[in-house]
Chain A
Amino acid sequence: MKTDTKLLMLIVVFGLIALAPLLITQESLLNIVIMTLYAALLGQAWNILGGYGGQVSFGHAAYFGTGAYTVAVLQVQFGINPWIGLAAGGLAAAAVGAFIGLCTFRYGLRGSYFALVTLAFAEVLRILSNSVDFTGAGVGLLIPLERSAANFQFLTKAGFFWVIWAMTLAAFLTVWKIGNSRFGAQLMAVRDNEDAARALGVNAFRVKMGAIMLSGFFSGLAGVFYAQYFLYLDPYIAYGAAISVESLLVPIIGGMGTLFGPLLGAAFLHGLSELSRAVIGDAPGISLVLYGVLLVIMVLFVPRGLAGLASHLRSGKRAVSQAEGGNDRA
């Protein structure tokens, strides 16, 4: 697909999504759309570093939580308006990204080592936020209820919809630009072969730093959104493993290193979860069993992620890639 076709598609897709609050009257459905966009944002943030940069992170909660706590702490402790907190949250998360990047890329951590170290950083932040007072420690932080748009607490879900829509669109446009720029080309080169990239003059360290900061920034925005939507944070919600897992699950299901993957992945996962709950009802855990089974089945039949499937359907090829050698057993 040509890059300008992608941009066009992006605009069309987000244009269609923008119709949601106009067409959907049920708040619960709109909520699903909102949470799907939110998951797509988290996933796209991860995708920048993991999918395009090849640096698989198990600790994206570090950025999410930082964004969330930043906006909450500024409000609760300093009375600073959450719209300012929004920017501060994104930037603080990017700064955490820069710090983690410095500690890891500088010392040549790669692959599994990198993945686990990011997780360790998220844990360190969780434990810290559990111990210091200004985050409310284990008690958590409750953002006071003052519903008004000026206060980033909308009266209706539609208000929240527009915020998450804009954030997600920004993330997707950024990734589109990555796929179409020198930075992106260098990032993907580092992903595919760092030595070869460096031999061609790519400053791998700088490129990875750029990616981790961008990635952190968008995760941080997701955190800000979460904080304002639910108004309560504790260390597990903010820095727990669940966010890190969701961040990577979404783009992997959707297709790593693809522009639309995170959106497909988010829609699929939310659809799956709604479906399994609708089918099973409320026998404890059984709907989750179904969810797990469907997940495995989906991987069995769609091994290259949903975006991979989509591009295959479009080009009408068999579901095996040429590059992987078709019926090659290797």
Chain B
Amino acid sequence: MTVLEINGLCKSFGGLQASQSVTLTVPQGGITSLIGPNGAGKTTLFALITGFHTPDSGSVRFLGEDITGLPPEAIAKRGMIRTFQTVQPFAGQTVRENIAVGAHLKIRGRAEALAKAEAVARQVGLGDRLDMDAASLTVAGRKRLEVARALATDPKLILFDEVLAGLNPSEIRDVIPVIHAIRDEGVTILLIEHVMQAVMSLSDYTWVLNQGAIIAEGPPKDVVSDPHVIEAYLGKGMAERIAKREAASA
């Protein structure tokens, strides 16, 4: 079953076509990734899906219902949550309080929401920083916070926008199981990522966006050998590196 269905979505800023009739689907239960060069329109697409921008044309269907043009909070209430590429913590509030805002989407009571926040923080590895001011987290810490807040809402679909950026390879290795665990709880994930190591090992299916349009789709290992994708996005060096690694692990 498809959770998310995007049909012919268009958006332009002045003369720039940031999204040119994008059509894609996200199936239930898996991890789908969205890659593409810088400025391809990935973040813009997320903003269109989640109601932060209104599309010029096209439609977005979530869980079978048309949600095009709904405000962000209404979409979030239906269970689709995005994170921000430029992290947006509630500065001045503690990590626990930050996450509790997410938890409050479903939970009314304060104590329960705080308890839930604590649990989620542990899950994403922020358990030791619960009482820290969110503003004093490092960039990587803030990324985790973004994940935790989204997770605390008990979403059906999460859109991650580059949550792994800024982590070193070993840290990425540590976070991958966390994301798998989220999926295993039944949350569908759509992620934007430039870290190919993660895209390869996480996602079941990949969409490639370039200059506002989808140029390729398929299982990640097929996509990375697509010459268009290599030319526009991966570059020869990375393609070779991936090929080598794939070969090694095979």
Contact = CB atoms under 8 A, between A and B. Distances in A.
Question: Do A and B have CB atoms closer than 8 angstroms in the complex?
Answer: yes
B38 interface: no
Contact of B136 (A198, A199, A201, A322): A322
Contacts, number: 85
A93 to B, nearest CB: 28
A196 interface: yes
Contacts of A201: 73, 76-77, 81, 102, 105, 153
A26 interface: no
Contact of B93 (A188, A200, A204): A188
A196 B76 contact: no
Given A193-B89, A195-B84, A185 B97 contact: yes
Given A185-B110, A188-B90, A195-B88, A200 B81 contact: yes
B174 to A, nearest CB: 25
B113 A182 contact: yes
Contacts of A204: 73
Interface string A197-225: 11111111000000000000000000000
B50 interface: yes
Nearest to A180: B110
Contact of B50 (A186, A199, A202): A199
Residue among A181, A201, A322, A323 with the most chain B CB within 10 A? A201
Contacts of A196: 84, 88-90, 149
A192 B90 contact: yes
A189 interface: yes
B101 A323 contact: no
Given A185-B110, A188-B93, A323-B91, A199 B76 contact: yes
Interface in B107-160: 107-110, 113, 133, 135-136, 149-150, 153
Nearest to A184: B110
Residue among A189, A195, A204 with the most chain B CB within 10 A? A189
A323 B136 contact: yes
Contacts of B101: 185-186, 189, 197, 200, 202
A241 B207 CA distance: 58
Contacts of A181: 110
A323 B72 contact: no
B42 interface: no
13 contacts: A185-B97, A185-B101, A188-B97, A193-B90, A195-B88, A197-B101, A199-B52, A199-B83, A200-B81, A200-B153, A201-B76, A201-B105, A202-B101
Given A182-B104, A195-B52, A200-B153, 7 more contacts: A192-B89, A192-B93, A199-B84, A200-B149, A200-B150, A202-B105, A204-B73
